[in-house]
Structure 1
Amino acid sequence: MLKAGPILEETIRRLYHHDSFPNCMKVADLGCSVGPNTLLATSNIIDFVHNICISLNHHEPPTFQFYLNDLFGNDFNTIFKSLPDFYTRLLQDKGHRFGSCFINATPGSFYGRLFPNHFINLFHCANSLHWLSQDPLLGLTKKADESLNKGNCHIVSTSPQAVYNTYLKQFEQDFKLFLKSRSEELVPGGAMVLVLLGRNEIPRRSGWEIISLTLNEMWLEGLVEEEKLDSFNIPVYEPTVEEIKHVIEEEGSFFIQLLEISILPWVEGINKGGDDSFLDENIKAELMAKHLRAALEPLLSTKFGAETINEVFIRYQKKVVQLMKVEKLECVTFMISMTKNT
């Protein structure tokens, strides 16, 4: 999100020129989650608009209307409890140069409509769109008694081509619906900034693959039930640039203004972009395990039971230490700015 800051700022600057200083800036943050970073995008957008108004000699600050979106199970109450302190910090930082700010929650899946037609000026979505709407392999089998990706819960090097194809098909279907829904909700000339995990031409090991290998190992040792493993697939797909562009062009509602690729070591991405050279391998692996556990624990607990989780991530951490000795663990992130076609 920090590296995507310049793209977000440029998108807002372009939006302001097109929209001629909207009196009320309506922004939706899709996949906001809950925690210390939830209001980071909101704070950044306010800062960018504030700086752009000053640079353009526009002295009347806009009113901000933010809509925080995530699934119905997200802990919005914790976010609401943090708002008084957030508003106090805004007033201290901006004073009377700052316009009114209202923050609401909009629960629901972003794979579908969330807002009225022609309502939102800017959509922001960071680290969410690689999550699919459902398990792509749900109900698919190679034979009547055998799962398509047996012994694995994500795409691994030994997965059959059909697994890749099915994941890709689900991504294309979801992403197309996402784009169609957002185009109907954006004002004419409205914009969208997306930050999502992807992959490029260099094969890289993903955290999802290591979780799959860990669960496979536990299954072989009898610690995880075969039926549960065969019926579980992590609903995440990391697309290529070509796959993203193909869906955007085919859906037809948006024009890509900027597309940048960032490649970061896993720990640097987790460690707020800081220097990780002083961290030993065990600390790095522990950080990676905590990061992925935060994302996956609800899914894994539901399927395999809470008592299994500690063992999964103890093994995950050990496996990461081993892998760091023989390969670079990096993640590819796409940062995309798009404008709604008129």
Structure 2
Amino acid sequence: MAPNGRIIFIINARKSDDPIGKESIYFWELLSKAISYLVSQGLIDEEKLDSFNAPIHTPSQDEVEELVKKEGSFTIEFIELLDIDLVGVWSSPEAKAKNVRAFSEPLISHQFGDKNVMDKLYDKVTQMVIEDYKMQKPETMKNVSLVAVLKKKETH
């Protein structure tokens, strides 16, 4: 990147200091419950579940700022957490479930099975999202994103 060049990024983030709070792991919790359900139905081998590990981290704004400063190649020109109203973004719980599938299926399909198993898994995820919408769980209604503009420092 050229000196004084800029990069803009938008990532999922969290407001709380708790790295495993509901706002950070909601989607993965849904997947975990759905996978466990398919294990209980005999559609996924329990050994596959036990051997699966997907380390996921949703950072806070403070963590991003600290990492940028520690790495040292960039300055932060702008950084802000945004609450995204998901009801407006995804018009239905089914649309939200499709989003979950879009980002997670490439990460988990190699571990848990063919298209038939994946279809059953995401059908279960869809059912759970529909129920969460009916109960108006806060984690189904909002998402937190971090927007940052970083400027490449000049090197001498």
Alpha-carbon separation, structure 2, partners of 1:334 and 1:262 = 6
Q: 2:7 aligns with which of 192, 199, 203?
A: 192
Q: 1:224 aligns with which of 30, 44, 53?
A: 44
Deviations 1:79-102 (A, max 9, x none): xxxxxxxxxxxxxxxxxxxxxxxx
Letter of the 2:38 partner, please give it. M
Letter of the 1:216 partner, please give it. S
Q: 1:327 aligns with which of 129, 137, 140?
A: 137
Pairwise CA RMSD of aligned residues?
Answer: 1.9
Q: How does 1:276-295 map to 2 (within 5 A)?
A: 276=91, 284-295=92-103
Residue identity over aligned pairs, in percent, reads: 28
Secondary structure of the corresponding residue to residue 248 of structure 1: helix
Deviations 1:215-239 (A, max 9, x none): 1222233322111112223353211
Deviations 1:89-124 (A, max 9, x none): xxxxxxxxxxxxxxxxxxxxxxxxxxxxxxxxxxxx
Where do 5+ consecutive residues of structure 2 fail to align?
Answer: none
Secondary structure of the corresponding residue to residue 206 of structure 1: helix
Q: How does 1:1-342 map to 2 (within 5 A)?
A: 186-201=1-16, 203-204=22-23, 206-269=26-89, 271=90, 276=91, 284-306=92-114, 307-324=116-133, 325-328=135-138, 329=140, 330-342=142-154
TM-score, length basis structure 2: 0.83
Alpha-carbon separation, structure 1, partners of 2:28 and 2:60 = 16
Alpha-carbon separation, structure 1, partners of 2:85 and 2:122 = 20
* Higher helix fraction (1 or 2): 2
Alpha-carbon separation, structure 2, partners of 1:241 and 1:260 = 8
Alpha-carbon separation, structure 2, partners of 1:226 and 1:319 = 21
CA contact (8 A) 2:74 2:152 kept: yes
Aligned residues: 145
Alpha-carbon separation, structure 2, partners of 1:334 and 1:285 = 23
Secondary structure of the corresponding residue to residue 331 of structure 1: strand
Alpha-carbon separation, structure 2, partners of 1:303 and 1:197 = 24
The 4+ residue runs of structure 1 with deviation greater than 6 A are none
Secondary structure of the corresponding residue to residue 188 of structure 1: coil
Larger Rg: 1
CA contact (8 A) 1:262 1:334 kept: yes
CA contact (8 A) 2:5 2:151 kept: yes
TM-score, length basis structure 1: 0.40
Alpha-carbon separation, structure 1, partners of 2:59 and 2:50 = 24
Letter of the 2:113 partner, please give it. G
